[in-house]
């Protein structure tokens, strides 16, 4: 491969420069390779194939001066490929001055303690007031163009009413690295996630594993345990440890437990569905704990009223550990129980 300049230098170190043109010449080893595959390999480890494919579809990639829109086009030796890196566009969501509990921030990423009630990403019914809006305002010009758009890189999510630790990428490089770590659920890296859940009942074993595939439920929003052979079935494993038992010696009261859940996979609503599947839904869960709502009637006051008034699932992302995408240092972040969940747990402790 040889590289040439067009008007503006195209490479700085190992990184593409936004807003300028890069020209690459294919060698004999490129013959027969897919354009997107070859180009992703030439542009460095920070350029994902998905982003290369997006650039091709946008007409930013040319061969012999002519735009190419076919990502699978076969390369030929001697092809001169130019890539026009677009300037990052303004993010569609607008920045909003929403207070964030920042646990760590550097040039590549930001770690926050998300409060319950905060939606992560704008969407139907929640176009403003989200974590993304808050991050755009907070990070400002420190956000690089992720996928050609100046926005925070969401690599994992917490449900609106789940609190706790989240990491968000600020650069394409960090986004790619963290996305890969979450995609393989830490099997080849140092990713570690632990949640605290207040659940109904007391599991018969102090530790256990729920290995049950998840798929869409009938309403398309919720998830459910489904047969492994179903088309939408996704492998899902949750490990749990009982940390505290409440009301165990007082059979006239509803019992509950504080459980730590560790994810071996990361599916939508995984902990909530898995705990309900084994008969211990999360207290306050409006989607998977409805059948247990009457259990609150067996509690003494004032706990009975507190449980009925609790507005969300009692689930908190306590721990997140991962390897930094550029320094490669192991980072570990913890967030204590939020006040509302701590107060609820204290009520159960009095049983």
Structural domains in the chain, CATH included, are 2-84 (3.10.290.10), 102-183 (3.30.2350.10), 192-349 (3.30.2350.10)
Please tell me the predicted confidence (pLDDT) of residue 188. 61
At a CB cut-off of 8 Å and minimum separation 6, what does 242 contact? 202, 203, 205, 206, 207, 257, 258, 259
Is 159 known to be catalytic? Answer: yes
Beta bridge partners of 195: 261, 317
pTM above 0.95, yes or no: no
- From the list 159, 172, 287, 340, the catalytic residue is 159
Question: Tell me, what's the pLDDT at 206?
Answer: 95
d(CA 150, CA 170): 9
Q: Calculate helix-pair angle for 49-57, 35-42, nearest 10 degrees.
A: 120
266: which 2 tokens? 């990361």
Give exposure, 196-205, as e/b (b: 16+ Cβ within 10 Å): bbbbbbbbee
Residue pair 73/35 in contact (Cβ under 8 Å)? The answer is yes
b/e 157-192 (16+ beta carbons within 10 angstroms → b): ebbbbbbbbbbbbbbbbbbbbbbebbeebbeebebe
With 0-12 CB in 10 A as exposed, 13-18 as middle and 19+ as buried, what is 34? middle
Walk along the chain (351 residues) and give the pLDDT tens digit of each residue.
444 433 333 332 334 444 457 888 988 888 999 998 888 888 776 677 777 888 888 888 999 888 888 888 999 999 999 888 777 666 678 899 999 999 999 999 999 999 999 999 887 777 899 999 999 999 988 887 776 777 889 999 999 999 999 999 999 899 989 988 888 765 666 899 999 999 999 999 999 999 999 998 887 778 999 999 888 899 999 999 999 999 877 666 789 999 999 998 888 899 999 999 999 999 999 999 988 888 899 999 999 999 999 999 999 999 999 999 999 999 999 999 999 999 999 999 988
Which residues, 6 or more positions from 94, have their beta carbon under 8 angstroms from its beta carbon?
Answer: 128, 133, 136
Residue 8: per-residue pLDDT:
33
pLDDT at residue 7, rounded to an integer: 36
pLDDT at residue 11 in the model? 34
Is residue 242 within 8 A of residue 203, CB to CB? The reply is yes
What pLDDT score does 16 carry?
45
Q: What is the CA radius of gyration of the chain?
A: 24
Q: Which two tokens stand for residue 117?
A: 């009630």
Residue 232 pLDDT: 86
**Cα angle: 77, vertex 83, 88; to 5 degrees:** 160
């Amino acid at each position: 491969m040889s590289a040439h300049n067009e008007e503006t230098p195209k490479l700085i170190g190992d990184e593409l420069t936004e807003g300028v043109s890069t020209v690459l010449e294919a060698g004999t080893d490129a013959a027969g390779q897919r354009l997107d595959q070859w180009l992703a390999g030439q542009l460095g480890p920070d350029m994902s194939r998905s982003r290369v494919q997006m650039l091709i579809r946008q007409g930013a990639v040319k061969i012999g001066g002519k735009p190419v829109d076919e990502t699978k086009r076969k390369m030929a030796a001697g092809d001169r490929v130019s890539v026009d890196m677009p300037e990052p566009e303004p993010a569609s969501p607008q920045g909003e001055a929403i207070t964030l509990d920042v646990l760590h921030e550097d040039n590549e990423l930001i770690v926050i303690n998300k409060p319950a009630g905060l939606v992560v990403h704008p969407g139907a019914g929640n176009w403003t007031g989200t974590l993304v809006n808050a991050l755009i305002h907070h990070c400002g010009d420190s956000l690089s163009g992720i996928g050609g758009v100046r926005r925070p890189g969401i690599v994992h999510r917490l449900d609106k009413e789940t609190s706790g630790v989240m990491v968000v990428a600020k650069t394409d490089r960090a986004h790619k690295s963290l996305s890969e770590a979450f995609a393989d659920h830490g099997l080849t890296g140092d990713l570690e996630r632990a949640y605290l859940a207040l659940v109904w009942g007391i599991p018969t074993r102090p530790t256990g594993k729920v290995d049950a595939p998840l798929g869409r439920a009938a309403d398309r929003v919720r998830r459910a345990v489904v047969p492994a052979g179903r088309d939408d079935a996704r492998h899902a494993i949750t490990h749990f440890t009982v940390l505290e038992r409440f009301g165990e010696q007082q059979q006239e009261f509803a019992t509950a437990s504080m459980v730590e859940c560790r994810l071996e996979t990361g599916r939508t609503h995984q902990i909530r569905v898995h705990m309900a599947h084994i008969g211990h839904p999360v207290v306050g869960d409006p989607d998977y704990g409805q059948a247990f709502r009457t259990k609150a009637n067996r509690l003494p006051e004032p706990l009975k009223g507190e449980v009925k008034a609790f507005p969300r699932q009692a689930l908190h992302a306590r721990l997140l550990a991962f390897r930094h995408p550029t320094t490669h240092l192991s980072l570990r972040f913890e967030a204590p129980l939020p006040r509302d969940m701590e107060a609820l747990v204290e009520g159960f402790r009095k049983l």
